[in-house]
Structure 1
Amino acid sequence: MINSKTYLKVNGGKALQGEVEISGSKNSILALIPPMCLGEGEGTLTHISGISDIDAMKGILDEIGIQMTYEQDSVKIKGTMVYSELSKLYVSQIRASNLFLGVLLARFGKAIVPLSGGDKIGNRPIDIHLYVFNKFGIRTEIIDGYVKCEATQFPYKGQKIFLRFPSVGATENAMLVASAADSETIIYNAAMEPEIVDMAVLLNSMGVRISGAGTPVIRIKPSKRKLQRTVHEVMPDRLEVGTYLFMIAATKGYGVLKNVIPEHVISVITILTDSGADITVDDNSIRINAKNCTLKPVNIEALPFPGFPTDLQPFATVYALACEGKSSIKDAVFPVRFNHLFEMRRMGMVYESVYSQVIIDGIQRLTGTTMTGTDIRMCTALVMAALIAEGESKIYGLEHILRGYDNLFPKLIGLGADIEIIEEENVEMVLQVECIS
C-alpha cells in the first residue's frame, strides 16, 4: 500500500518505448458521477480508471443516499438522494465535490456543502459558481467553511448567464442547475473542454436537451419528465495522453498510444511536431518517434481549451530541458503553478522566472536526487524529470499520482522505465505488472 513513507526509485537515462492503452478520463469520471445522481433507476459508467478519487466520490454518494458499486472497469449507480447536506470528510479530498452544489440544488432547491479540496495549485475561488447560482435567484453564503445555498423560488426560472471566465466547474454547475429549471437556460462564454461535452452527452441521454456543448454558447432545455439513468462510456483521458507524449519525446523514445481522441490533444501534437518529434495520428491512436531527433525549443502558454492545458504545463517545462535553445512556458490559468521547478532545482535545473512565465535554456543535464510532489501533476512531472536525469532519484508523494493516473507505474515499466516502488524502511514492495507488448 502506498503511503507517505513510500517512494519511487527511478534510474534515469532510458528511452521509453512500447505501447500504452489510455484509461478513462479522470476529470470526466469525477464530473459524470454527480449528474448520475439526478436520475432514477440504475445507471452505469464504463471505461472507469482505477483512481483513488473515486473512493472519495463513493463516500459522498453514501452521505446523500446514493449507492455506487464497482464492477471491473465500471461503476453502477442507483438509489434516490435523501439528504441536501454534506460533511467535510470526503468533500475535502477532491475539487469535483463542488459539483454537488449544483446537484443538490437541482434536486432540493437547497444545499450545504463544505468548500472543496483537491490539488493546491494556486487560487481556486468559487465566485463564478456562486454568481451562476445567484442568477437563478439562489441565495448563497459561506459560513465556517461551508457553502450554504437556497433557492428563493423552486423550481427556478431558466436564465441567460455570461461567465466572466470560461470556468469548467462553473459551466458544469450551471448545466446541472439549469437541468432543473422551468425553462431554457443559455450559458455564454462557457468552457469548451471535452469534459463539458462528455457531461452534456450523459445529461442528454438522461432526458435533458443540451446543444452547443464544446462551443462558447450552451443551451439547456430541462426535461418535462423525470431523468432516467443510463449507460455511458467515459471518454479517454486527454491529460494522460499528453503526459505520455511528453515523456516519450523527452526521453528520445518511441511509442504508440491507443484508445485516444487525437482532437483532444491537438495542441500537444502541434507543439511536439513543431519541436521536431515525428508524430502520426490515426482515428484512435497516436504514434510518436523522437529517436535521434534534435528537439527545438518551445513557446507555450497554458490557456482554456482549445488552448494548451494547464494540467500539462509541468510536463512542458520538463520537456524544455531536452530541447536545444531557450524555451518559454507561461501559465495564464494558474500563474503560480510552478512548484515542481522548486524541487527540480535539487537536480541542478536552472531557469528564469517572472510571475507566470519561465524561461528554460536547454539542453540541461539533471542529476538524480530526492524530491517530493504535493499534487497530481507536480509529482508525475518529477517522475518525468527523474526519467531523463542521470543516476538514481527518489520521488515521494506517490499517493497524489494514484488520485489522477490509472496504473502509471505498471504502464511506465511496460515502456521500459527502470522504476521500483520502495518502502522507507528499505523493505521493497513487489510491483506485479503485466508488461504491455
Structure 2
Amino acid sequence: MSEMIIHGGHRLSGEVTIGGAKNSTVAIIPAAILADSPVQLDMVPNILDVKNLMVILESMNVRSEFVDGVLSIDPTSIKQSPLPSKAIKSLRASYYFMGALLGRFGKAVVTFPGGDNIGPRPIDQHIKAFKALGAQVTERNGKIKIEAGPNGLNGAPIFLDVVSVGATINAILAAVRAKGTTTIWNAAKEPEIIDVVTFLNNMGAKIHGAGTDVIRIDGVDQLIAKNTHTIIPDRIEAGTYLSLASVIGDGVLVNNVIPEHLESFIAKLTEAGVDLKINEDSIYVNRSDHFHGINIKTLPFPGFATDLQQPITPLLLKASEDSIIVDTIYPERTRHIPELIKMGANIKVNEDDHIIIVSPTKQLNGAVVDAGEIRAGAAAMISGLMANGDTRITNADNILRGYDNIIDKLTNLHADVELVNSNFNN
C-alpha cells in the first residue's frame, strides 16, 4: 500500500509549473483510437491514470510510448479484444472507450468503469446518447455491450437531461464518424471538452459549438493526425497549488495557468482574503495570514468546480469565521472530512443535506490519514503540510492518479515529503 510521508510545518516558497489537464488527457487517449494514423500528445501529465490507459491500449494492440511528457499512440493496427477489467476499474474515465470503440468499430464491450467513490455517478446519459445514434445497449454480468445497427451509427439530436462532461464527450466520440449530423443539447461547457474537440478537429473532424451548451457534429469518414496536440494546463492542479500556496506559502509563483479557466475559484480565494497577482499565464500568491469565511456552491463550469471544494478546505480552516460548502454536483463528496478531523480540524457535515461546515481551527497535528480518492488525498496532503509533526497518508496512489510529478514539485517548493511503497515513479 503506497504512502506519502509529510514532515509538516514548513513554509513553502518558489515556483511550480502546472502539467497537462488530467481530465483532458483521460478523454483524449481513448479518442486517439478513432484516428487512422499515429497520434502524438504533448504536455501529458505523469500520473497513474495515464499508465492504466496505456495498459488498456496495449490490450487492443495499440502501441504507445511515454517519454518526457510526450505520449505517442499508434492505433493503425488496432484489434477488437476484451479490455483488461482491472485497468478499466481503476479509473472512471475508462468509460470513454465505450464511445471511442463504438465510433471506430460500431461495437463496444466494456466492464462497468471504476474510479473514485464520491457518490452516485450513473452513466444513463451516456447510454441515452448511444441509443439516440442507433445503437443497442445491453448489460450482463457487469459488462455493457453497445452495438450499432446493420447500417452503422446515424447522426441524431441528443438532449442530455443533466449537464454531464462524461456524457458530452462520449456522445462526441461516438458521433464523430457517424453518418450525418448530430446535435447535442444541454452539453457541458468545460475547457477539457474544448480540448478534446480541438484534438479531433485538428485530425479532420467537423465539430462546432464546443464551450457552449449546443454542439453540432458532422460525421466524417476518417481522422488523420497531422500535428502534435498539446494538452491544456490542468486547472484543478493549478487550484490545488493556489490553495496550498495561500495557506502555507511565503510567496509562490504558479506557472502554466489559464486564469480564465479558474475565474470562479480565484474569485473565492480573493473573497477569503488571499493576495494574488494574476498574470497572462501565471499567478503569484503572496503570503497571507488572515482569511475570512466564505460560502461555496459547486456548479458546472464556469461555476466553482467540484474537484476544488476539497483542496480549498484546509485554507478555510484558517479563516476567522465559519465557511459553508454545498456540493451540488456530488453531494456525498465528503471522504476527506473524517481524515481532517483526525488532524484536529473543526469541520462537520449536516447528514440531512450534506452541507459542509468548516469552522476556525487553530492548529492541525500530524496523523495517519487515508487518501480515499484523488481530491480527498489532496486535501489531506495540504493539511499535512500545514500540520505540526508528521502525517502519513495511506492509499497515496490515489493522489498520484491526479497530480503530475507531485513529489518533485512539492520538494522544489521546500516541502519535506516522500513517497514509500509505491510501484509508480511519479
Number of aligned positions between the proteins: 421
Residue 141 (structure 1) aligned with residue 141 (structure 2): no
Question: Which of 399, 410, 413 in structure 2 is aligned with 1:412?
Answer: 410
Residue 80 of structure 1 and its aligned partner are, at CA, apart by 3.2
Residue 299 (structure 1) aligned with residue 295 (structure 2): yes
Question: Which of 399, 402, 413 in structure 2 is aligned with 1:401?
Answer: 399
AA partner of residue 414 (structure 1): N
Which stretch shows the higher mean deviation, 80-89 or 69-78?
80-89
Tell me the distance in 2 between the aligned counterparts of 1:251 and 1:322: 10
Residue 62 of structure 1 and its aligned partner are, at CA, apart by 1.5
Residue 165 (structure 1) aligned with residue 162 (structure 2): yes
AA partner of residue 417 (structure 2): I
Q: 1:106 to 1:84 in 2, by over 3 A?
A: farther
Residue 180 of structure 1 and its aligned partner are, at CA, apart by 1.6
Task: Show structure 1 runs of 5+ residues with no match.
Answer: none
Secondary structure at 2:309 match in 1: helix
Question: Which of 56, 62, 68 in structure 1 is aligned with 2:58?
Answer: 62
Which stretch shows the higher mean deviation, 359-368 or 44-53?
359-368
Q: Which residue of 2 aligns with 1:290?
A: 287
Residue 192 (structure 1) aligned with residue 189 (structure 2): yes
Residue 258 of structure 1 and its aligned partner are, at CA, apart by 0.8
Tell me the distance in 2 between the aligned counterparts of 1:349 and 1:73: 37
Percent identity over the alignment is: 38
Secondary structure at 2:16 match in 1: strand
Tell me the distance in 2 between the aligned counterparts of 1:222 and 1:165: 24
Task: Show structure 2 runs of 5+ residues with no match.
Answer: none
Residue 86 of structure 1 and its aligned partner are, at CA, apart by 2.2
Matches within 5 A, 1:61-100: 61-78=57-74, 79-83=76-80, 85-100=82-97
AA partner of residue 50 (structure 1): N
Secondary structure at 2:312 match in 1: helix
Residue 121 of structure 1 and its aligned partner are, at CA, apart by 1.4
Matches within 5 A, 1:9-158: 9-78=5-74, 79-83=76-80, 85-158=82-155
Tell me the distance in 1 between the aligned counterparts of 2:89 and 2:160: 26
Which stretch shows the higher mean deviation, 347-356 or 374-383?
347-356
Residue 59 of structure 1 and its aligned partner are, at CA, apart by 1.4
Conserved? CA contact 1:36–1:229, under 8 Å: no
Q: Which residue of 2 aligns with 1:258?
A: 255
Q: Which residue of 2 aligns with 1:372?
A: 370
Q: Which residue of 1 aligns with 2:310?
A: 314
Residue 49 of structure 1 and its aligned partner are, at CA, apart by 1.4
Conserved? CA contact 1:325–1:363, under 8 Å: no
Tell me the distance in 1 between the aligned counterparts of 2:79 and 2:4: 43
Secondary structure at 1:37 match in 2: helix
Secondary structure at 1:91 match in 2: helix
Tell me the distance in 2 between the aligned counterparts of 1:195 and 1:302: 17
Residue 332 (structure 1) aligned with residue 328 (structure 2): yes
Question: Which of 204, 208, 212 in structure 1 is aligned with 2:205?
Answer: 208
AA partner of residue 94 (structure 1): L
Conserved? CA contact 2:207–2:218, under 8 Å: yes
Secondary structure at 1:214 match in 2: coil
Q: Which residue of 2 aligns with 1:390?
A: 388
Conserved? CA contact 1:87–1:113, under 8 Å: no
Residue 241 (structure 1) aligned with residue 227 (structure 2): no
Residue 10 of structure 1 and its aligned partner are, at CA, apart by 2.0
